[in-house]
Amino acid sequence: MERVKRYKKIRITSKVPQLSLGELRRFFHRHWSDSDYHTTEKSGRSYYDNGLPLADEYLDLIVSVPSVEDKLFQKLAEAEADAERARTCALLMVQIRSCLTPKQYRRLWLLCVEGMSVEAIAAMEGVTHQNVSKSIIKARKNFKKILVIRENRVRNRLQKREE
């Protein structure tokens, strides 16, 4: 008669009338220790199985991750650059306003920033198209003068630094 016993979720069929728990443990331990566990475990594995080869297709996957400090310093540098840009823009706006009349400034702002056409500006102000056009042309000439002066100042500063 064939008896079936369960041992740790492994089904064993045995023709031995009955095995004690200790005998079963010895049997499994002997079976496990007799087999070459390590060669079975390492078969088919090599040193390079856990890495990526440095082939061109994998180079995009290999990246360095910036540290928290690097991210913080980058954000601080961006904030400083934004603040510097804002100061420069504010200074330019003051210079532009100082050399333009309020009418020229308003018309140039509506044309360049708001995107309105010359005809729309003329209709809004109740003046002729030619009047608005002439005012914008004069404002652009004055604006170019400011930019040329500023460019010359920057060049002079750079030349002084190089010397």
Task: Give per-residue pLDDT as tens, 32-79.
Answer: 555 555 565 566 555 555 665 566 666 666 666 778 888 899 999 999
CATH number of 74-162: 1.10.10.10
SS3 label, residue 11: strand
Task: Give per-residue pLDDT as tens, 121-158.
Answer: 999 999 999 999 999 999 888 888 878 888 888 888 88
Distance CA 58, CA 52 (A): 7
Task: Give per-residue pLDDT as tens, 2-33.
Answer: 555 554 555 555 554 466 667 766 766 665 55
Q: How many other CB atoms are there within 10 angstroms of residue 6's CB atom?
A: 8
Q: Which helix (H) or strand (E) holds 13?
A: strand 10-14
The residues spanned by each domain of the chain are 1-34, 74-162
DSSP structure string for 109-149: HHHHTS---HHHHHHHHTS-HHHHHHHHHHHHHHHHHHHHH
Sequence-distant (≥ 6) Cβ neighbours of residue 135 within 8 angstroms:
103, 104, 107
Q: Which pTM value belongs to this model?
A: 0.45
Task: Return the pLDDT at 149.
Answer: 84
CB 12 within 8 A of CB 6: yes
